[in-house]
Amino acid sequence: MLNLKLLSVVTALGLGAIAVFNLKAPAVPKPVEDNVIGLFLVKKDQINQQYRGELYPIAQYKNGKYLDASVNVTLEVREDSSESAIVKRNLAKSILNQPKTFAVLDTQGKTITQFAAKKAGVGQFACESFLVGRGEVLDNTKLPSLFDQLPKARSQGMSGFINGKQVDEVWKWTISSQRPVAPARLVSVSPAQLKQYRADLERIGTAEINQTKEAKAFSGTAILDDFQVVDLDGDGKHEVYAKLHKGVARGTPIQGNVDRSTVRSVYANVWLSYQNDQPKLISKQVFPQFVPASDAGREYDVLQLIDTDSDGQSEVLVRNNGYEGVSFSIYKLQNNQLKPVFTGAGYGC
């Protein structure tokens, strides 16, 4: 029986802690034909106090398209196949079939170090198993110090038994890219603009939530859980994002016996752009959360702004949160609409 100790992935931001980023590069580079975006994890074995680095591939950008780069080997692990046999059978269909070096990025897209994925192994994510890259960090970086450097908000853990073997691990993760990416730049935002953006997001987000029948159970203005000001296409104009909710915040313990069909809250992910100082809705997702939060794959957290295809514009990498499962999506600004161009690499129980 696995005991999953999942910690918060994205810290909620209030007005006093606004994420303000711009990924505009000094010059627009030629778009690449091939790139891989993944999670880089530093895992600490609590039993033997050893560290190791792993690369979980999420998406491959190739010939103008995004492909799911993950390889699920859960059934083979449950059949008690050896790790070496699983790798041998599945390596040809993985991007890890050849050694690759990845830039390990901080939350603003700056390269911390590089990770050389020299061989493939099998990694555990919740109740599922996937091919992962294993190797070493470069630039004389030590895994323990890198583990300490990564944010606590990006921590997870797992303990229990897998195929009769005791497992007790904690890890921290960040985003990685096979190709170099431009680090985030701060955009200029005045206090008056921040006040206006927040007011617009609260007003529009609340209005969108109130259109759902489930929202009738909740009164007042929606609460902002995340608030970011960015410049996705490098045109000097702001796009703003908020995650909002009405009702009980996700993760709040359930007290007593509650009907599983009860709506606990309604969440929304809202993006706005501005034309002549007027807000325009460019992306939205609105959804109720029941007991349990079984509406999988709809609520998301923004993980990173990253120029995945080196076209000088930043894409938005998000984690879709569901009941006992997650997946990842990439959103791209196209014709003043923020649209999903990739969803995949999901895992869960």
Question: What pTM value is reported for the model?
Answer: 0.86
Token pair recorded at residue 2: 């696995």
What is the reported pLDDT for 204? 97
Say whether pLDDT at 155 is over 70: yes
68, 73, 74, 79: CA torsion to nearest 10: 160
Q: What is residue 349's predicted lDDT score, i.e. its pLDDT?
A: 83
Q: Provide the pLDDT for residue 282.
A: 98
pLDDT score of 1 more than 50: no
pLDDT of residue 7: 30
Q: Sorting pLDDT into bands at 50, 70 and 90, what band is 84?
A: very high
Residue pair 166/238 in contact (Cβ under 8 Å)? The answer is: no
Please tell me the predicted confidence (pLDDT) of residue 260.
58
Q: Predicted confidence band at 156 (pLDDT cuts at 50, 70, 90)?
A: confident
Instruction: Report pLDDT for 13.
Output: 34
Asked if residue 292 has pLDDT above 70, the reply is no
d(CA 172, CA 44): 9
Give phi and psi for 147, each to the nearest 5. Answer: -60, -45
Place 271 in a pLDDT band, splitting at 50, 70 and 90: very high
Three-state SS at 194: helix
Residue with tokens 């990739």: 342
Q: Give the model's confidence band at 254: pLDDT under 50 very low, under 70 low, under 90 confident, else very high.
A: low
105 neighbors 111 (Cβ within 8 angstroms): yes
Calpha distance 174→183 (Å, rounded): 14
- The better pLDDT of the pair 138, 349 is held by 138
Contacts 24+ apart (CB under 8 A), 188-193: 189/18, 189/20, 189/229, 189/238, 193/229, 193/238
Model pLDDT, residue 14? 37
